[in-house]
Amino acid sequence: MYLNPVAISIAIVAAVIFVGAFLAFFRDRKKYEGHREYAADARILANRLNGEIFRDGEDLVINGTQGRLPVVIRLSFAENTPGLHIRMVAPANFRMFVLPKGSRTTEGRVQVRTTDDSFEARFVTRTDNPMQAKMYLGSKGVLPELGKLGCSSKGFVTFTTGSIEQSEALVPIPNTGQHVQEHLQSMERLAKELARMPFADRVELKPLKRERRLVLKVAIVGGIIAALVGIITAAQQPQEIPLPAVGSQAHVVEGVMPNDALNMTQLTDWRAATTADLDPDAAAWARGAGQKDTGRLTLNLNGSRKSTKDIAYLLVNEKDNQRRVVLLADGKSQYDVKYPFMGLLAIVPKSNISKIQWSSRTPEDPDGDAILLVRKLQDRSSGLVLYFSDGKLVSGVPSDYQSINLLE
């Protein structure tokens, strides 16, 4: 039976729209699985922050801006991960940690005391920069806002270069949205006081890189266009399409793209790392900095190649209990080294490399982006930064890898 090409096109477009709507419904249900109690609050928050909601493993994440300051809100039920974690970009130029009384921490060399007995009864404040911390704590309105952020008996507030972070052990239920919104307002007020501190204008505030999740929309539009073009072309000039060769098969390694696998050797028993393979502390820090990928990262090792993306892999061999880092630059393997442990692989943008505080000698100027390796569990001095300088691979050891800015 002959069918008009226009009728076929209309039928295909209708089918694509129907499938797209079904997938959108299914994806929305999957996104909030395990987080349905506060799904409505998350949508309201994302709308107020002009942001987006997405899943990162089992966590629900909201990106957006509060008073022009980029924020990332993470809600989690995973073990060894805060139930609520909020990170706001802010002009902080010192490190300070505010934690509940009786909590143990290795952060901050010096304990700082305030003149507020009520605050001292509830919190301990530690810092590596006592002069700046005392000046800031003495600013009008700072202690009340810190007290609000420490509302939970397990609430922590952290100031690091370029950001304020607040975390709580459990997701606040009910009234999740109101609870988070109040914290965002307190953090915004604290950020305004930070802006009044000496040399605050020297802190470079960079917006968080948003990943617009338009894959489904692009797929629907692309499917419609492809259907129309295909039907019209077929109606004008039928073509025979040869079948693929029998027995052809791509080399398959879990988490490794087939084209990348062709440029790598000895992949038997290896797979790309997942979140479960990482140092939980390092992974939480990287996620808070906006990094979503784990075992396969894309970067630009050579700053002159604007369109070419290089690849970095963190591989795991459970049989031999080994880790492996592979750098593919311009499609060729430039670094392939095995390690007994590797807690994290992260991208350091080229513009941030010059700001790293090194415990070793200062390496040469970079050609492009760098890769950060964390070589020991829960050891912030175990970082190693690798990048190319004049086409040669160089390395350096940062004094504290969590002081590195991963934001572009």
3-state percent helix, strand, coil for the chain, nearest multiple of 5: 30, 25, 40
Q: If you average pLDDT over residues 51-79, what whole number do you get?
A: 91
Strands (E), 233-309: 271-272, 296-299
Query: Which residue, 157, 172, 202, sits at the end of a domain?
Result: 202
Cβ neighbours around 350 below 10 Å, total: 19
Q: Are 81 and 288 in contact (CB under 8 A)?
A: no
With CA atoms as reference, report the closest residue to 304 among 372, 373, 388, 371: 388
Please tell me the predicted confidence (pLDDT) of residue 144: 94
Contact present, 41 and 27 (Cβ < 8 Å): no
Higher pLDDT, 211 or 70: 70
Note down the domain range covering 45. 32-202
Helices 215-236, 5-31: axis angle to 10 degrees equals 160
Please tell me whether residues 65 and 189 are part of one structural domain.
yes
CA distance 407 to 348: 8
CA angle at 80 for the pair 96 and 346, rounded to the nearest 5°: 70
Residues, the chain:
408
- At residue 296, the 3 state secondary structure works out as strand
Q: Are 186 and 305 part of one and the same domain?
A: no
- Are 193 and 47 contained in the same domain? yes
**The dihedral of CA 21, 26, 30, 34: what is its sign?**
positive
User: Per the domain annotation, does 18 fall within a domain?
Assistant: no
Q: Residue 151 — pLDDT band, cuts 50, 70, 90?
A: confident
According to the model, what pLDDT value does residue 182 have? Answer: 94
Residues 6+ apart with CB under 8 A from 152: 100, 168, 169, 170, 172
Q: Do 183 and 91 lie in a common domain?
A: yes
Question: Higher-confidence residue: 239 or 407?
Answer: 407
Q: Quick one: pLDDT at residue 238? A: 44
Structural tokens at position 318: 């459970």
**Rounded distance between C-alpha atoms, residue 35 and residue 137, angstroms:** 36
d(CA 49, CA 63): 8
* Spatial CA neighbour of 349 closest among 397, 297, 284: 297
> In the listed set 181, 202, 223, which residue is the last one of a domain according to the structure?
202
Residue whose C-alpha is closest to residue 62's, from 82, 45, 84, 38: 45
pLDDT tens-digit map of 120-144: 999 999 999 999 999 999 999 999 9
Last residue of a domain, one of 159, 181, 202: 202
Q: Which residue type is seen at 145?
A: E
Neighbours of 12 (CB within 10 A): 17
* Mean of the per-residue pLDDT values of the chain: 84
Residue 376 in tokens: 């020991």
Any domain includes 63: yes
CA distances from 50 to 71, 118, 222, 325, 376 (A): 11, 37, 27, 37, 38
Asked, for residue 159, whether it belongs to a domain, the answer is: yes
- In this model, does residue 225 exceed pLDDT 80? no
Instruction: Please classify residue 398 by burial: count the beta carbons closer than 10 Å to its beta carbon, then call 0-12 exposed, 13-18 middle and 19+ buried.
Output: buried
Q: Has residue 392 been placed in a domain?
A: yes
**Beta carbons of 253 and 267 less than 8 angstroms apart:** yes
pLDDT value at 393 more than 60 = yes
Span 209-217, average pLDDT: 52
Residues 193 and 281 in one domain: no
For residue 276, give every residue at least 6 positions away whose Cβ sits within 8 Å of its Cβ, in sequence order, or none. none
Residue 307 gets the label, from left (phi > 0), alpha (psi -120 to 50) or beta, of alpha
Q: How many domains does the chain have?
A: 2
H-run or E-run covering 269: none
pLDDT band at 391 (very low <50, low <70, confident <90, very high): confident
pLDDT score, position 20: 66
DSSP 3-state of 83: coil
Reported confidence tier of residue 243, pLDDT bands at 50, 70, 90: very low
* pTM value > 0.75: no
137 within some domain = yes
- 68-72, 220-224, 376-380: range with lowest mean pLDDT: 220-224
Residue 232, domain member (yes or no): no
Residues 46 and 194 in one domain: yes
In a domain, 228, yes or no: no
Rounded distance between C-alpha atoms, residue 285 and residue 406, angstroms: 10
pLDDT band at 91 (very low <50, low <70, confident <90, very high): very high
Over residues 3-19, mean pLDDT:
67
Residue 244 has pLDDT above 50, yes or no: no
As a whole number of angstroms, the distance between CA 165 and CA 74 comes to: 11
> Within this chain, do residues 288 and 356 fall inside the same structural domain, yes or no?
yes
> At a CB cut-off of 8 Å and minimum separation 6, what does 294 contact?
272, 273, 274, 275, 277, 278, 283, 314, 345
Q: What is the pLDDT of residues 96-106, one digit of tens each?
A: 999 998 888 78
* 197 & 263 share domain: no
Residues 270 and 169 in one domain: no
- Is residue 76 assigned to a domain? yes
The whole-number average pLDDT for the span 160-180 is: 92
Q: Is residue 36 located within the same domain as residue 129?
A: yes
My answer on whether 173 and 42 are in the same domain is yes
Is 202 a residue whose pLDDT tops 70?
A: yes
Question: What is the average per-residue pLDDT within 361-367?
Answer: 88
What burial class does residue 116 get, using C-beta atoms within 10 Å of its C-beta: 0-12 exposed, 13-18 middle, 19+ buried?
middle
Do 296 and 393 belong together in one domain? yes
